[in-house]
């Protein structure tokens, strides 16, 4: 049989994705075997009914306005949606965003793909903070660039800007920064971002071209203990602000987000034209019409943070009482837990046989750990806690 002739650019992407795809195929099989009693902590998916105001907003905006035959026509950037985003960013980031600075996208992953296609290409390097989101490297490689890792501190999970400085080469085109950070839950503080801005400014001036900061802020409204989000764009002008409403609304299957260019970014008008071209060739990377029309009602809504924080505190205390080692995240949906055995894949399978699904830390470049999503229901949590306890006991006897 003649071998398949496929895109050479996709080959390295598939190589990176193979372990992830294999894990999800295995997890799906385990879900089917466990049946309706599975305790699913694998991903940030909703395990309860959607918020009634969210459903009501979609129903309301599904009705076309009178004399609007174009209600479900092709749509790029809905002006009202752009105004909603710009108003929010002015308040959150303290920068004078205008509607024309906003490119609506079908969530953050599409936004990252679009920006990487706009600014990076063959031979370029893109720095990413490790542990990263598992799709960062595939997105970088799909743009033709190479991924360069900078690790966070192993216990504080902070980022050392000097490590970023050491990773910069003449080929560096961008840095992807995820704050609040998935999976550690770290909100990178003001002093870190200020120092990082200086490092990137100096390197850009030395190279004669900007090194862009891609600020993935998908969890910027999922904050615990009354904490505040610190916006990287306040400390570095060449920042693409990237956001997904999927976390805030706990509706990741409804794909809406944005790319925002701060008013401090030079040549942002020219960049916006190239972003539009990248959105077209990425496969119409704009949100669907209904979500854009309804954003005025969706933007103020949020997952119940009091409930989410209670789940965090309850699970942290319970797991620690069992003997597990874990930190208390400042933000996001996730707990990173030290596996009681070194092989986190083996422990993942042991838990899965008991009907509990978690994410092996190896998938997030944190071997020897596993990730728990707090979007599981309260019932799942209560059913899973004794199973976590039994698994720890078996593993340490």
- d(CA 302, CA 222) in angstroms, rounded, equals 9
Cβ(237)–Cβ(267) below 8 Å: no
- Cα distances (angstroms) measured from residue 333 to each of 49, 52, 180, 327, 396: 17, 21, 10, 13, 28
Q: What is the spatial order of strands in the sheet that 359-360 belongs to?
A: 334-338, 369-373, 359-360
Q: Which residues of the chain have pLDDT under 50?
A: none
Torsion sign over Cα 215, 161, 329, 234:
negative
What is the Cα Rg of the chain in Å? 21
| pLDDT (0 to 100) of residue 209 | 95
189 Cβ contact partners less than 8 Å away, ≥ 6 residues apart: 158, 230
- d(CA 98, CA 114) in angstroms, rounded, equals 20
- d(CA 150, CA 146) in angstroms, rounded, equals 13
CA 368 to chain centre: 22
DSSP helix/strand/coil, 4: coil
DSSP helix/strand/coil, 370: strand
DSSP helix/strand/coil, 215: strand
- DSSP 8-state code for residue 280: H
- Residue pLDDT, tens place only, 331-363: 999 999 999 999 999 999 999 989 999 999 999
167 Cβ contact partners less than 8 Å away, ≥ 6 residues apart: 127, 148, 149, 150
| pLDDT (0 to 100) of residue 1 | 62
Phi, psi (5° rounding) for residue 326? -160, 160
Q: What is the spatial order of strands in the sheet that 125-130 belongs to?
A: 102-105, 257-260, 239-244, 212-216, 172-178, 125-130, 146-151
- d(CA 217, CA 149) in angstroms, rounded, equals 19
201 Cβ contact partners less than 8 Å away, ≥ 6 residues apart: 236
Answer yes or no: pTM beyond 0.85. Answer: yes
- d(CA 342, CA 340) in angstroms, rounded, equals 7
């Amino acid at each position: 049989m003649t071998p398949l002739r496929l895109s050479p650019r996709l080959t390295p992407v598939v190589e990176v994705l193979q372990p992830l795809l294999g894990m999800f195929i295995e997890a799906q099989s385990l879900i089917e075997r466990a049946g309706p009693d599975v305790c699913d902590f694998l991903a940030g998916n909703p395990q309860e009914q959607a918020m009634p105001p969210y459903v009501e907003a979609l129903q309301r905006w599904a009705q076309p306005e009178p004399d609007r035959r174009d209600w479900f026509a092709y749509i790029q950037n809905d002006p009202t949606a752009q105004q909603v985003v710009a108003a929010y960013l002015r308040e959150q980031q303290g920068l004078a965003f205008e509607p024309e600075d906003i490119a609506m996208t079908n969530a953050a992953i599409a936004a990252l793909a679009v920006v990487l296609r706009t600014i990076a290409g063959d031979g370029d390097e893109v720095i990413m903070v490790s542990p990263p989101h598992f799709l960062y490297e595939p997105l970088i490689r799909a743009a033709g660039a190479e991924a360069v890792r900078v690790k966070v501190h192993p216990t504080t999970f902070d980022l050392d800007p000097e490590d970023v400085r050491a990773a910069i080469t003449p080929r560096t085109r961008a840095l992807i920064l995820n704050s609040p950070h998935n999976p550690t839950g770290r909100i990178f503080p003001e002093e870190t971002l200020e120092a990082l801005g200086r490092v990137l400014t100096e390197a850009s001036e030395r190279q004669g071209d900007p090194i862009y900061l891609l600020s993935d802020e998908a969890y910027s409204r999922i904050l615990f203990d009354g904490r505040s989000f610190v916006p990287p764009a306040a400390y570095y002008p060449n920042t693409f602000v990237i956001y997904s409403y999927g976390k805030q609304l706990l509706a990741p299957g409804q794909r809406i987000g944005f790319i925002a260019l701060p008013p401090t970014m030079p040549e942002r008008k020219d960049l916006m034209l190239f972003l539009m071209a990248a959105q077209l060739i990425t496969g119409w990377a704009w949100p669907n019409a209904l979500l854009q029309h309804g954003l005025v009602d969706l933007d103020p809504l949020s997952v119940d943070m009091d409930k989410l924080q209670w789940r965090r505190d309850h699970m942290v205390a319970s797991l620690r009482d069992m003997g597990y080692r874990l930190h208390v995240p400042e933000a996001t949906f996730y707990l990173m837990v030290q596996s009681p055995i070194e092989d986190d894949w083996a422990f993942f399978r042991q838990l899965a046989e008991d009907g509990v699904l978690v994410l092996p830390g190896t998938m997030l470049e944190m071997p020897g750990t596993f990730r728990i999503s707090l979007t599981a229901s309260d019932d799942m949590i209560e059913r899973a806690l004794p199973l976590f306890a039994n698994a720890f006991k078996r593993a340490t006897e």
